[in-house]
Structure 1
Amino acid sequence: MQKIEFNGYKLDMFDSAQELKIKRFQLYNLNVMLDAGIGSDLNAFNDRINSIRGFIPKKPELAMIELNNLQQSVYFIVKNASPKMASFVAMIHKIDGRELTDHDLTDQGIADILEELNRKGLTMGIVERFLSAVKKNLDRELETFFPKTFNGSNVKEFYSKSYAGPC
């Protein structure tokens, strides 16, 4: 477990996806994949537009897939939904001593928790640092258990093949 303290509040966090119960693990993975493949912010929107421009002349079928991804990205932006933030919530064990329940991991529960964390002053910097540390931990675990597939450069290649381009 890892503790995050901010503005007098405390989050007890799972520091590895391997510590999560099955449903929470699935929620975490789904949202990591959505964020990596589609995104939910203006940067993702711009990435989709640029991909479409590149695909139109040579690979129009991929341009259509990117249009669908763009549509989903815009939906996330308009609905103020963020797969990245949902994956962060999935990693929270307790907020100020209160253990998260299955209800907290529903769409409405996640929205409520994000609103609570916003009111308490949680910053994106804290979220980004934590998620980056979780990713580094996952990279180390993959390198340990699958050394031929996931060594330094192979990990980067795996991520680029798995998450780059259209979903």
Structure 2
Amino acid sequence: MTADTTRGVSAVVGTVVLVALVAVLAAGVFAAGAAVESLDDPPPSVVAEADDVVAACSGCGSADQVVRLSHRGGDAVALAETDLVVDLPGHDLRTRLVDLPLPHNCLPDSHVEGPDLFDGRCGRVAGSVTAVGADDDGVWSAGESFSVRLSEGAVRLDPGDEVVVRLVHAPSGTTVTERTAAVSSG
């Protein structure tokens, strides 16, 4: 090999390395830009409170097994971007309400992912989570509450059990708020 052919190969290798370096840098700049863009729209932050849940009881009507979450402060939450997750650790059960707000105060099966633990009868769902009544704007704001009733046919809560309620920002998968409610005898 002569010195001239070696020089030509080095120039080609140098050009390929330079093009690869530019491509890697461009991908890094694109990824950083996408990350910064996602920081512009963080998930909402909420201070919430969960009421104690009354254990299943005969003759209580619809007052037992009601899970109620109240917005006490922080950001208003567009319910269309959230899911409501209910965990029952003592029963090893978890269910999720999706496609909120509900179109009425009944709970159709199409809005439940996982085991259907909810009392789907009309009137067993109330507040901001529905498109019915004073809080029907699709936004959960400070001072508003919502409630769902767990069906005794699906699960029977006893005093001492716990109900963990989480509101999840669906686009990011981030938990907006999580509260644990104690189950009491009423």
TM-score scaled by structure 2?
0.22
Larger radius of gyration: 2
More strand by share: 2
More helix by share: 1
Greater RCO structure (CA 8 Å; 6+ sep): 1
TM-score scaled by structure 1?
0.24
